[in-house]
Amino acid sequence: MGAALSLAQALGVDVLIAAELLPEIEAVMVRKLNEQMEGRRNG
């Protein structure tokens, strides 16, 4: 999480906003990764 907040800060994003949004962004990333892995397994 520290790296993500550092990246957000470097990009000029308010770290408090980034910290608030990171859990939701992470959930989407995990879902999409799981979909990709499932697709490779099935086809």
Q: Which residue has the higher pLDDT, 43 or 40?
A: 40
Q: Which two tokens stand for residue 21?
A: 């949004």
For residue 33, the model assigns a pLDDT of: 95
pTM of the model as a whole? 0.61
For residue 35, the model assigns a pLDDT of: 96
Q: Using alpha carbons, list the distances in angstroms from residue 34 to 10, 21, 25, 38.
A: 29, 20, 14, 6
CB proximity list for 8: less than 8 A, separation 6 or greater: 14, 15, 17, 18
Confidence of residue 41 (pLDDT cuts 50, 70, 90): confident
Where are the domains positioned within the chain? 2-42
CB proximity list for 15: less than 8 A, separation 6 or greater: 5, 8, 9
Instruction: Please say if the pLDDT value at position 12 is more than 70.
Output: yes
Q: Which two tokens stand for residue 4?
A: 């993500």
- pLDDT, one tens digit per residue, over 18-30 is 999 999 999 999 9
For residue 43, the model assigns a pLDDT of: 67
